[in-house]
Amino acid sequence: MSGAAKPWRLSGDDILIDVRLTPKAAKDGVDGLEILSDGRPVLKARVRAVPEKGAANKALTQLMAKTLGLPKSAVALDSGSTSRLKTLRIANPDADTQAQLDALCAEPSS
pLDDT tens across the length of the chain (110 residues): 445 689 999 999 999 999 999 999 999 999 999 999 999 999 999 999 999 999 999 999 999 999 999 999 999 999 999 999 999 999 999 889 999 998 888 755 55
Whole-number pLDDT of residue 4 = 67
CATH of the domain at 28: 3.30.1200.10
pLDDT of residue 105: 84
Interhelix angle 55-68/95-104, nearest 10 degrees: 110
Entry pTM: 0.90
Query: 25 lies in a domain?
Result: yes
Residue type for 59, please?
A
Q: What is the domain range of residue 76?
A: 8-104
**49, exposed or middle or buried, with CB in 10 Å at 0-12, 13-18, 19+?**
buried
Q: How many structural domains does the chain have?
A: 1
Indicate whether 42 belongs to any domain. Answer: yes
Q: Is residue 17 part of a domain?
A: yes
